[in-house]
Amino acid sequence: MGSAATIRAWRPEIAGVAEVLHAHFPRHAYPPHTHGTWTLLVVDSGTIGFELGRHDHGAMPSLVTLLPPHVPHDGHNATSAGFRKRVIYLEEEVLGAERIGAAVDRPGWRDGDLLAAVRGLDDALGRRHDRFEAEARLALVADALHERLDRRPRRAGPAASDRPLAARLRRLLDERLAGEVVLADLAAELGAHPTHLVRSFGRSYGIAPYRYLTGRRLDHARRLLLSGTAPSVVAAEVGFYDQAHLTRHFRRLLGTTPAAYARSAR
């Protein structure tokens, strides 16, 4: 590893995620090794060459790469420019040991939708106060990987059972704007698998449940701000971790800060 290599690693408080790693290696070669987790990998720049199952492969920016647990692999920069990568290590049970063989046979996909989903998950895992979004994104990514490893077709349209379940979830979200929302708790309360819950909501309403929740919280925040409530108080009242958390989402949706929005009404 050269002196210019940079690494950032952390363990999110999200069930199923063992670790997240961001790394830039100008030059590096991994010896053969194994993990006890699934290695979900996207490359921002460069190409990583690796051997898996006695076959040579390459991880590059256009691919989503998935390395199975307990199977030896190595890795090295395939170009002189080195590589920059993002890795999400998933606990074995997220995808199941029964899918290891399928991942050895095909450890990568050139799939724009999947690539965007994995990058979105990685971004959410980097924001520790957006837990519900990270959990929902993980459920969708895991389901997408199940589909590809199992080679089963995707169902795009809503099922008859989606709308009642989605409506029940929406009611719960509306009732819990100010509190912590945990996907596993919602799924247990509604008697549904977390992935089915997220997909049913999206198919029924055309929006992910975490986006719906954030939008409802921001609606409530706007009313409070216009009534003269201080932004720091508003953040706590509508379920954001702190004022900075509120400001980030407020600016993303409305292009301004909560304080500036409140001043505009005076």
Residue entry with tokens 């292009």: 255
Tens-place pLDDT, residues 144-163: 999 999 987 665 566 667 89
pLDDT one digit per residue (tens) for the chain, 266 residues:
445 789 999 999 999 999 999 999 988 888 999 999 999 999 999 999 999 988 999 999 999 999 999 999 999 988 888 899 999 999 999 999 999 999 999 999 999 999 999 999 999 999 989 999 999 999 999 999 999 999 876 655 666 678 999 999 999 999 999 999 999 999 999 999 999 999 999 999 999 999 999 999 999 999 999 999 999 999 999 999 999 999 999 999 999 999 999 988 76
Q: What is the 3-state secondary structure (H, E, C) of 207-256?
A: CCHHHHHHHHHHHHHHHHHHCCCCHHHHHHHCCCCCHHHHHHHHHHHHCC
CA-to-CA separations, 130 to 62, 94, 155, 254, in angstroms, rounded? 27, 20, 28, 18
How many other CB atoms are there within 10 angstroms of residue 24's CB atom? 17
By C-alpha distance, which of 221, 239, 169, 222 is closest to 199?
Answer: 169
Residue 12, CB-side half-sphere exposure with 13 Å CA sphere: 27
Tens-place pLDDT, residues 102-130: 999 999 999 999 999 999 999 999 998 99
Locate 36 and state its tokens: 């006890």
Residue 179, CB-side half-sphere exposure with 13 Å CA sphere: 10
Beta-sheet strand order (sheet of 55-59): 29-33, 73-77, 48-52, 55-59
pLDDT (0 to 100) of residue 1: 42
Contact in structure between 215 and 253 (CB atoms under 8 Å): yes
Locate 187 and state its tokens: 């799924």
N-to-C CA span, the chain: 58
Q: Which is it for strands 73-77 and 55-59: parallel, antiparallel or unpaired?
A: unpaired
Locate 61 and state its tokens: 């920016």
Beta-sheet strand order (sheet of 17-25): 6-10, 17-25, 83-91, 37-46, 64-67, 108-109
Please, is 203 exposed, middle or buried when counting C-beta atoms within 10 Å of its C-beta (0-12, 13-18, 19+)? middle
By C-alpha distance, which of 81, 45, 85, 93 is closest to 65?
Answer: 85
pLDDT (0 to 100) of residue 2: 46
